[in-house]
Amino acid sequence: MTVLVLGIPSEPPVRAVVDALRRCGGDVFLWNQRQVLETSVQAGLTPAEPGGQPSLVGQLVSPDGVVDLASLEGIYMRLTDNGELPEVSGLAFDDPRREHADHVLDTMFSVCQLSPATVVNRPGARDENGSKPRQLQLIARHFATPPTLATNDPHAVVDFWREHGRVVYKSNSGERSIVTELTEADASRFGVLARCPAQFQALVEGVDIRVHAMSSGVTFATAIAADTIDYRYGEQSSMEPVELPGDVATACIRLTVELGLELSGLDFKLTPDGVWVCLEVNPSPAFTAFEHATGQPIAAAVARLLVGRNLGCGC
Amino acid sequence: VWLVLCHAGDVTAAWCAVALRRGGLDPVRVVLAEELVVGASLMHAISATNSKASIVLASGEVLDSARIRGVVNRLQQLPENAGLPVADRPYARAEHTAATVGWLATLPVPVLNRPVAHSLEGRWARPGEWQLAASWLGLPTSGWTSRPDPDALEGPRVLVVGDRVLWRDGDVSPIAGGGSEGALVQLATTMQAPLCELYFTVTRAGAGVYAGSILPNVSRYGAAAADALVDVLRGAAA
């Protein structure tokens, strides 16, 4: 049984998962997405009689080898849009090579949706943060959430700002944005807001905590001290592992499973009075920065999740 | 108010609006995708205990969530806002879409179909996903291959609206057997598509589920589809 890793080998999470699997003696095949033009894939589902179960069949053929799609025990997927690959981005939209690349990618998405293997994470679930206002309402079933306003109405923003004193803003969509505190200087840009909504949240004071949660019941929590509101963009930050209270860990795992994810990255603020406020859930977490800073064996846990068992290497 | 959300030129949406009005739903407001973007203000407040949303259209008309009783949603993609620099338009469209999804996804009334995070039109799924779900429900499936098959969508179809399964005049249900209609309704529910058209392929071995469409041409199913739409939107809202 093989674990199929789909992505670009230089990407740190891809490299970390492949290394962890190989270190533990797992059978791993890494498909390099940058070889998409030299790859062919055929996949299918067999017909099923009433009450029967269809089987996924097919194979992936790349310059590095052939993979039988019917015999996978796990898939780790970190694919990017073909248009972002240097090999594809320069091709005309009607170029048959671009069509081929899109067919390969689309088929691999189907395989990830249909495979009975453990898939980290299935494409349908990975898109779950496409609408943060929607996601926040799902999060609120498990955790405290900050008062939030999704709007393109400057007057509504001003009222919200008055009510909450300090407010941050970020994207509504899955597009990456820098979480920023709203200031008087931003008010001059409210004219643009009318044509492009944003998400505003009451600023929550407290410690930033990133939790990596897995459907297998494993969690890793990291406290982050940074000199900026969005710790990802701070010039100085430090990370240290922290113990999660049992009920918080359980809720993290439940929410992860409820969102259809095997692995998630949950961002919290732990307030001075001990409330865990969940800001959002990342369905495709780049966990390696946290692993390197804290020594938490996150990649090894992902490897165990993919094979559904301990690999006998003591990781 | 009952809303029909759609794009300009969507004949099926116009048919739905007429069907709802004839069925006694009043008022029915057809809202075009452009109206949700150009000159419109969206406000969606989410607190720990509740969610409150409204959209003020350019005309000044207010679509207040608390007054919406049901939605037929045929939106696929919001238009880009021509008032922005070209480079900013895709980002702004993604933001508008995400906010609109957040509004529609949690309306406490029937929404046919409800958007999901990455798709305004509802949960779009590949043929294999429909088949896998169908097989879990005991339905026969016809198989799928990644090679394009232009004939795959030429077989019989049925329309599912809420808990009703309809087929076109002259057609017969492609799947025989007691309980199969209930399984088709369950399939629609499982796929989060209470309004959908299911496609079958027929071979010597019999008919099997091939795929589904979450943007069906409802009008092909005539008066029975109109009645079902009205009942689903009114029944659950009552």
d(CA A232, CA B18): 52
**Tokens representing residue B29 in the block:** 């407001």
CB contact under 8 A, B144 and A196: no
The confidence score (pLDDT) of residue A230 equals: 81
| Residue carrying the six token digits 């419109």 | B40
CB contact under 8 A, B41 and A127: no
- Whether B199 shows a pLDDT value over 90: the answer reads yes
d(CA B167, CA B156): 9
Partner B contacted by A33 (CB < 8 A)? no
d(CA A16, CA A223): 21
CB contact under 8 A, A147 and B117: no
Of B40, B83, B138, the CB nearest to A50: B138
Q: Return the number of CB contacts < 8 Å for A and B.
A: 190
Partner B contacted by A42 (CB < 8 A)? yes
- Whether B236 shows a pLDDT value over 60: the answer reads no
pLDDT band at B237 (very low <50, low <70, confident <90, very high): very low
pLDDT band at B106 (very low <50, low <70, confident <90, very high): confident
Average pLDDT, chain B: 91
d(CA A86, CA A83): 8
Residue with the bigger pLDDT between A239 and B180: it is A239
Query: What is the Cα Rg of chain A in Å?
Result: 21
pLDDT band at B18 (very low <50, low <70, confident <90, very high): very high
Give the mean pLDDT of B216-224.
Answer: 94
pTM, 2 dp: 0.91
pLDDT band at B238 (very low <50, low <70, confident <90, very high): very low
Q: Are strands B157-161 and A219-226 parallel, antiparallel or unpaired?
A: unpaired
The confidence score (pLDDT) of residue A126 equals: 77
3-state helix, strand, coil in chain A (%, to 5): 35, 30, 35
Give the mean pLDDT of B141-158.
Answer: 85
* Residue A116 neighbours by CB under 8 Å, 6+ apart: A56
Spans of chain A, pLDDT less than 50: none
Partner B contacted by A311 (CB < 8 A)? no
Residue with the bigger pLDDT between B144 and A129: it is B144
| CB-CB neighbors (< 8 A) of B149 in chain A | none
Residue with the bigger pLDDT between A226 and B230: it is B230
Q: Are strands A167-170 and A56-62 parallel, antiparallel or unpaired?
A: unpaired
